[in-house]
């Protein structure tokens, strides 16, 4: 018998819409000659499974409505089953390889439909699995909805696959990139927004977020704007527009100088009556943050005007050490790079460029800089990312400075990074939602850390 396994992307709590999607899948399965269709747990109610109370009653009612509304021909000829509460873990880096390995090692016949889609923090990557008792496993497509078919014997066990068995992804960065695209697009669509706004700096992080946004939603639903200042180089200004052109999206340019000057003048005050009025020192942290907050305010205003969600462009490295400005570059409604370290941002950019340059090579090659003062570089304030990121990963996952020192990093550098992480907790608690792709939560420090 031919069995259809559904890979489905439900919306949380949207029972009526999910019901119609299930009915459409059932019709498609019947037309394809399937004798049974399997849906994953959560297909009707959404990814966040309720545990008890009124929501459980609503699920039961929704399932009753599904079976009641099945057209007569389908209801008679196509048994419909919801998979038991077999946990499909959310996507994490390497999670599909683990799912495959577990199915192979179990050596039991099984058929597992799959959820696929974004749920704000969690991502479900599809990849329905069909396993035979001898350890052979086939998998459905990753990161996309649809039906995956299997043939079964008279006892309902899957027959050995005719084609090649499933394998773990050979391109881990492509796997991660597709997960971020799926998470971003699903979040925006399920929020009912018209599209997204991305503020381009001409730097690496906003460039990668811009590419993710266009791949997730299409260029017609993406708005680019750049906010140069007196410290913006010609290279970054040029690259912001080159990137936008490569992605097929116009880029508006709005200089922030007049707004920064007006606010600086408004902030003039005398610490005491005997001293003259003072404006923010242009070399101070206050002046740097003021620029970032002007950009954030302008970008959020434009997003409000056009009914768009602003995408925040910070990466995990910056969030962990607090190298960001609250209410400035942390403004936004969704953060695609929430769980991506800076060095991985570069790896993802190079993967995205594999078939032709989309992100200009000059962006990838340029030393990272916030460009909030003359000649500024990230390494003025932080260790080089090639050194910082491995330290962050050890501290984030183990909470142990000793482990970082044992791995070969200087104790003074490790303690400096640890102090930055502790001092920036208040910032991380105010960052936008974003997809989690790491096994250990990205921005929550271990209890042992302090």
* pLDDT computed for residue 279 by the predictor: 82
Query: Which position has the token pair 């910070």?
Result: 314
CA distance 448 to 400: 8
Domains of the chain with bracketed CATH = 2-170 (3.60.110.10), 175-378 (3.40.50.620)
Query: Cα 445 to the chain's mean position, in Å?
Result: 20
The two tokens of residue 172 are 């881990």
Whole-angstrom CA distances from 287 to 57, 115, 283, 324, 363 are 56, 47, 7, 14, 25
Whether residue 21 has pLDDT greater than 70: yes
Q: What is the b/e burial string over 205-230, where b = at least 16 CB atoms within 10 angstroms of the residue's CB?
A: bbbbbbbbbbbbbebebbbbbbbbbe
pLDDT bin (cut points 50, 70, 90) of residue 54 is: low
CA distance 352 to 174: 8
* pLDDT computed for residue 445 by the predictor: 76
Q: What is the mean pLDDT of residues 51-64?
A: 66
CA distance 90 to 115: 9
* pLDDT computed for residue 166 by the predictor: 86
Q: Compute the chain's Rg from CA coordinates.
A: 25
Burial of 423 (0-12, 13-18, 19+ CB in 10 A): exposed
Q: What is the mean pLDDT of residues 225-230?
A: 96
Whether residue 363 has pLDDT greater than 70: yes
CA distance 284 to 281: 5
Whether residue 148 has pLDDT greater than 60: yes
* pLDDT computed for residue 306 by the predictor: 96
Q: What is the mean pLDDT of residues 341-361?
A: 97
* pLDDT computed for residue 73 by the predictor: 57
* pLDDT computed for residue 277 by the predictor: 75
Question: What pTM was computed for the model?
Answer: 0.93
pLDDT bin (cut points 50, 70, 90) of residue 171 is: confident
The two tokens of residue 235 are 């290279």
CA distance 449 to 429: 16
* pLDDT computed for residue 324 by the predictor: 95
Q: What is the mean pLDDT of residues 167-194?
A: 94
* pLDDT computed for residue 444 by the predictor: 77
CB 448 within 8 A of CB 400: yes
Query: What is the DSSP code (8-state) at residue 447?
Result: G
Whether residue 383 has pLDDT greater than 90: yes
CA distance 189 to 169: 27
Helix (H) or strand (E) holding 411: helix 411-423
* pLDDT computed for residue 74 by the predictor: 65
Query: Cα 37 to the chain's mean position, in Å?
Result: 30
pLDDT bin (cut points 50, 70, 90) of residue 50 is: low
Lowest-confidence region among 24-33, 39-48, 76-85, 192-201? 76-85
Task: Tell me the per-residue pLDDT of 113-134, one tens digit each, with 9 for 90 and over.
Answer: 999 999 899 999 999 999 998 9
Query: Which position has the token pair 């396993």?
Result: 131
Higher pLDDT, 79 or 287: 287
Q: What is the mean pLDDT of residues 387-397?
A: 96
Please, which residues have CB within 8 angstroms of residue 101's CB and are 6 or more apart in sequence? Answer: none
Closest CA to 197 of 222, 233, 165, 161: 222
Whether residue 420 has pLDDT greater than 60: yes
Question: Mapping DSSP to helix (H, G, I), strand (E, B) and coil, where does residue 152 land?
Answer: strand
* pLDDT computed for residue 180 by the predictor: 98
Higher pLDDT, 163 or 293: 293
CA distance 164 to 161: 7
* pLDDT computed for residue 112 by the predictor: 94
């Amino acid at each position: 018998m031919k069995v259809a396994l559904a890979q489905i992307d439900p919306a949380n709590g949207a029972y009526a819409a999910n019901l119609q999607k299930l009915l459409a899948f059932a019709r498609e399965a019947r037309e394809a000659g399937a004798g049974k269709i399997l849906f994953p747990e959560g297909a009707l109610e959404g990814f966040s499974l309720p545990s008890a109370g009124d929501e459980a009653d609503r699920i039961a009612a929704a399932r009753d409505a599904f079976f009641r509304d099945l057209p007569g021909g389908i209801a008679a000829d196509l048994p419909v089953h919801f998979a038991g509460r077999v946990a499909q873990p959310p996507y994490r880096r390497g999670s599909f390889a683990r799912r495959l390995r577990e199915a192979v090692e179990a050596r039991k016949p099984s058929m597992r439909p799959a959820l696929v889609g974004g749920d704000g923090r969690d991502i479900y990557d599809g990849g329905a699995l069909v396993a035979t008792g001898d350890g052979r496993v086939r998998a459905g497509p990753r990161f996309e909805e649809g039906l995956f078919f299997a043939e079964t014997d008279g006892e309902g066990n899957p027959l050995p696959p005719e084609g090649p068995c499933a394998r773990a992804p050979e391109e881990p960065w492509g796997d991660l990139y597709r997960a971020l695209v799926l998470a971003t697009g699903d979040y925006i669509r399920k929020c009912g927004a018209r599209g997204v706004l991305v503020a381009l700096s001409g730097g690496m992080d906003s460039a990668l977020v811009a590419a993710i946004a266009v791949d997730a939603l299409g260029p017609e639903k993406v708005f680019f704007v750049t906010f140069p200042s007196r410290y913006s180089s010609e290279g970054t200004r040029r690259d912001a527009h080159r990137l936008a052109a490569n992605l097929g999206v116009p880029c508006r340019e709005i200089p922030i100088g007049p707004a920064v000057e007006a606010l600086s003048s408004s902030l003039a005050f005398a610490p005491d009556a005997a001293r003259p009025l003072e404006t923010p020192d242009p070399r101070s942290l206050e002046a740097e943050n003021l620029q970032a907050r002007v950009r954030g305010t302008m970008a959020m205003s434009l997003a409000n005007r056009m009914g768009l969600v602003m995408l925040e462009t910070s990466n995990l490295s910056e969030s962990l050490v607090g190298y960001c400005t609250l209410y400035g570059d942390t403004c936004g409604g969704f953060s695609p790079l929430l769980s991506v370290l800076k060095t991985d941002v570069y790896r993802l950019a190079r993967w995205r460029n594999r078939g032709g340059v989309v992100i200009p090579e000059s962006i990838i090659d340029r030393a990272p800089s916030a460009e909030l003062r003359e000649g500024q570089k990230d390494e003025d304030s932080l260790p080089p990312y090639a050194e910082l990121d491995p330290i962050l990963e050890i501290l984030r996952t183990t909470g142990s400075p000793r482990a970082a020192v044992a791995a070969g990093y200087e104790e003074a550098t490790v303690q400096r990074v640890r102090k930055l992480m502790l001092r920036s907790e208040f910032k991380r608690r105010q960052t936008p939602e974003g997809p989690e792709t790491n096994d250990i939560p990205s921005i929550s420090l271990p209890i042992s850390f302090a």
